[in-house]
Amino acid sequence: MCCGRQKARNWRYKRGSDRHILIFNINKLYILCFEPYGWYEIGVAPESSATRVSFKKKRYNMEQTFDLFGNPIEQKGNLKKDFGANPFSILDTKDGLWQARKRKWINMGIKSEVGRESVAIHAGTDDYRSIKNKEGYNNRDNYVSIFDPVLCELMYRWFCKDGGDILDPFAGGSVRGIVANYLGYHYSGIDIRKEQIESNVEQAKVILGTDNMPKWYEGDSNVVLDDIKEQFDLVFTCPPYADLEVYSTIQGDISNMDYDDFIFALESIMRKCCKKLRWGGYAIIVVGEVRNKQGNYYGFVADTIKLMQRCNGMGFYNDCILATSLASAALRANGNMKNKKLVKVHQNVLIFRKQQ
Ligand SMILES: C[S@@+](CC[C@H](N)C(=O)[O-])C[C@H]1O[C@@H](n2cnc3c(N)ncnc32)[C@H](O)[C@@H]1O
């Protein structure tokens, strides 16, 4: 970065605008310019002379630019560039880079909400129980629960070997399959609803072409998994969040079961998936807490961790928070707080590893 920087102890910084930050030392001048995806050092005056300005351009990660005393921190490489996002236990979907990547995926034509005739919701919200019974409710624009393509991309890159095989027992929309095969992985997804599978196949044909199709199986995973003989490198799924969003009345659809039956069926399905996971492979489950009829949380996240730990060889390896949009949270806050319910702005990404 800059010679003698470590020696400096009297840094001062001043925020000029939300796009620039100026840092002065007696003999040195740093100008750090905020860009949507990081910090760029655009000017450095060497210690010996304030007039001999040599310009360097170097990229910094915002989170690691300064230490407690305001000193810039030397770092090798760039985390976001190297990993696609900061590989931290909080995955921030509001981040500019994340949003830009998400737009790219969506612009490819992925429509994960298609294939669901039931009312669509913003998954994990507290207000679903009050809106779902409203007559004529079909506010897809505001409440569709679309799985985040960037989360797929990151989980695949971080936890699956290149070209690996991915199993998803609750496929839902097309996104997990399309992102996987687009990136060179081989996806197999199961969903109990015929219309969902048909819609996914239709979208994948257009986006990926017929020679690179994910495999989608129609049926109850509890049954279908018995007939799948392959082994997989990654299990990645997002099950129904209990009965938060009821997908169908089909027998075996775990979203229409009472909570105890739901957990029992979920465990049975995950157990079968984990058996098909290669040793050293990861199983990633995206879940969110759900309230019961008394307004208390079921403890679904904790139950999911416990049921996964009961599956052969599975260890709870990473615990991530998926920080979601705050936009509609502000609108819901007043209503929620009448009952002292904090607005939920996160989901949980639970990561397990199969160890011998
Ligand atoms: C939470 S959704 C996926 C939602 C996710 N946000 C998305 O769109 O990708 C779960 C899916 O599980 C399916 N499902 C429920 N019970 C099932 C079962 N026993 N076997 C296979 N799929 C099932 C539902 O039809 C639904 O599409």
The residue ranges of every structural domain in the chain are 6-76, 90-354
173 within ligand 1 shell (Cβ under 6 A): yes
CATH 3.40.50.150 corresponds to the domain 90-354: yes
- What is the torsional sign of CA 71, 76, 78, 84? negative
Instruction: With a cut of 80, say whether residue 70 has pLDDT above it.
Output: no
The CA 240 to ligand 1 mean position distance, Å, reads 6
pLDDT band at 343 (very low <50, low <70, confident <90, very high): very high
Under 8 Å between Cβ of 70 and 12: yes
252 within ligand 1 shell (Cβ under 6 A): yes
Instruction: With a cut of 70, say whether residue 207 has pLDDT above it.
Output: yes
What local confidence, expressed as pLDDT, does residue 143 receive? Answer: 45
Instruction: With a cut of 80, say whether residue 197 has pLDDT above it.
Output: yes
For the residues 58-81, what does the mean pLDDT come to?
61
pLDDT band at 111 (very low <50, low <70, confident <90, very high): confident
% of the chain residues with pLDDT over 90: 64
Chain centroid to CA 42: 33
Atom number, ligand 1, closest to the C-alpha of residue 170: 12
Instruction: With a cut of 80, say whether residue 99 has pLDDT above it.
Output: yes
pLDDT band at 13 (very low <50, low <70, confident <90, very high): very low
Atom 6, ligand 1: residue with shortest CA distance: 147
The CA 257 to ligand 1 mean position distance, Å, reads 13
The CA 91 to ligand 1 mean position distance, Å, reads 23
What local confidence, expressed as pLDDT, does residue 73 receive? Answer: 58
164 within ligand 1 shell (Cβ under 6 A): no
287 within ligand 1 shell (Cβ under 6 A): no
What local confidence, expressed as pLDDT, does residue 323 receive? Answer: 96
178 within ligand 1 shell (Cβ under 6 A): no
Instruction: With a cut of 70, say whether residue 44 has pLDDT above it.
Output: no
- What is the torsional sign of CA 200, 205, 210, 211? negative
193 within ligand 1 shell (Cβ under 6 A): yes
In this structure, what are the phi and psi dihedrals at residue 275, rounded to the nearest 5 degrees? -65, -30
199 within ligand 1 shell (Cβ under 6 A): no
pTM given for the model: 0.76
190 within ligand 1 shell (Cβ under 6 A): yes
